[in-house]
Amino acid sequence: MSDQSADDRHDQLTSAPKATEADAAPRIDVSTTAAGDTRIDIREDAAVRPGRVEENGDEAQDDSGA
């Protein structure tokens, strides 16, 4: 991401009335493997992660228990 687009992203994510700096925090890491494949990983410290969540806040488990 270029510096300009990073600044634009930050401005967009913090422009809402109740937005905080945490709203603009990175949530993914993008890397390229030696073979040239692009890998996208959700950061461990991301405040919001994909997936289902139970009402008590625990991550929902699939049918296999994973």
Q: Could you state, in order of their start, the residue ranges of all structural domains in the chain?
A: 3-42
Q: How do residues 35-46 score in pLDDT, each as one tens digit? A: 999 999 988 887
Rounded Cα–Cα distance for residues 20 and 34 (Å): 37
Q: How do residues 1-32 score in pLDDT, each as one tens digit? A: 566 788 898 899 899 999 998 888 888 899 99
**Please, are residues 50 and 41 in contact by the beta-carbon 8 Å criterion?**
no
pTM (predicted TM-score):
0.50
Identify the pLDDT of residue 25: 83
Beta bridge partners of 32: 38
Rounded Cα–Cα distance for residues 3 and 52 (Å): 33
